[in-house]
Amino acid sequence: MTQLLQTLALGLLLGGVYALAASGLTLIFGVMKVINIAHGAFVVLAGFITFSLWDAYGIDPLLAIVITTPIVFALGWVTYKVVVSPIRTAPMSSTVLLTFGLALVLEGAMGEIWGNNSTAIRPSYADESFTFAGLFLPKAQVYGGLIAVLVLVLLWLVLTKSWLGRAIRAAASNPSSAELVGIKVAAVAALVFALGIAAAGAAGAITGVLYPFVPGSHYQWIARLLAIVVLGGLGSLNGAVLGAVLFGLAETFTAAYWSPSWATAVPYAVVFAVLLVRPHGLMGTRLREDAVAT
């Protein structure tokens, strides 16, 4: 029973971090219908920025989120204005190709700046654990999971309780009508893209503490994040959170009860099984064009 509870707790904490990383990806798709293949590269980039802040100035990597996130937000806004905006309304295949190219550029830039050797952020509490009712919970994972949940709650409040959130929802559901009531859809799109990248940045600061990384780690991250948002339903923030929690639980339970070697493979099998039953994900909606095609 103790191992079951510990595995469950670790899976939920890991799922919280995954949810934060995936939230930006699904938010961008939900509003702009852009699948940002460079999202994983921004996660890794935030990890490298966090590493520099920790290594050069001794700033705690998790507290450095308050610095890393605005930096990545600004990079996201500039990226949208310079790269994404000109082809935002192009076919989805074009934006996929563009953002894949952007991911490769970011990988090369990170290799030039930080090198291609494995990088790890090891704060003083990296090897310490909390002991509670017989459970051993790594401090880094607990702190990271709680911070991820806090950031997700803040993001949820912005999207549901603010004028900006109402503007985003209006732009996502009907851009033409949103323009008629005075909402500048282009400005909202830029803000959403930057906000989504900022969420990736916050997650990157946390994952940099949990996992070693290299510039090429973005391939693993984008594969994992795409699986999560597809499992939850593309464009659904709640679906991304649910998919992330299930993905995290699948990884930890596989590692604990089967083999760590299968921990990265089994969650994808779960995603595949779910999509056989629900092709649009757990909380996704059927698009009009899909209905016409069938």
Tell me the domain boundaries of the chain: 1-114+138-286
Per-residue pLDDT, 38: 94
Q: Answer yes or no: are the C-beta atoms of 24 and 39 closer than 8 Å.
A: yes
Per DSSP, helices labelled H in 33-118 are 39-57, 65-79, 92-114
**Token output for 288:** 């009009």
Query: Whole-structure pTM over 0.85, yes or no?
Result: yes
Rounded to whole angstroms, how far apart are CA atoms 28 and 48? 23
pLDDT of residue 293: 44
In total, the chain counts a number of residues equal to 294
Count of CB atoms situated within 10 Å of the CB of 181: 8
> Would strands 129-132 and 135-138 be described as parallel, antiparallel, or unpaired?
antiparallel
Coil vs helix vs strand at 119: strand
| Structure confidence at residue 76 (pLDDT) | 93
Strands (E), the chain: 129-132, 135-138
**pLDDT tens sequence across 57-93:** 999 999 999 999 999 999 999 999 998 888 777 788 8
What's the pLDDT score for residue 294? 43
Q: Tell me how far apart the alpha carbons of residues 228 and 260 are, in angstroms, rounded to a whole number.
A: 20
How many whole angstroms from its chain centre is CA 274? 21
As a whole number of angstroms, the distance between CA 19 and CA 243 comes to 8
The span from the CA of 48 to the CA of 70, in Å, is 15
In the CATH hierarchy, which fold is given to the domain comprising 1-114+138-286? Answer: ABC transporter involved in vitamin B12 uptake, BtuC (1.10.3470)
The closest of 186, 46, 189, 190 to 121, measured between CA atoms, is 46
Intervals of the chain under pLDDT 70: 285-294
pLDDT at 292: 42
| Token pair for 77 | 């806004």
Of 78, 65, 71, nearest to 144 by C-alpha is 65
CB 227 within 8 A of CB 267: yes
**First-residue to last-residue Cα distance in the chain:** 47
Query: What pLDDT score was predicted for residue 176?
Result: 79
Q: 286 is written with which tokens?
A: 């059927």
Sign of CA dihedral 61, 65, 67, 71: positive
Q: CA-to-CA distance for 217 and 221, rounded, in angstroms?
A: 7
Measured between alpha carbons, how far is 83 from 53 in angstroms, rounded to an integer? 27
Q: Which of 93, 105, 116 lies closest to 34, judged by CA?
A: 93
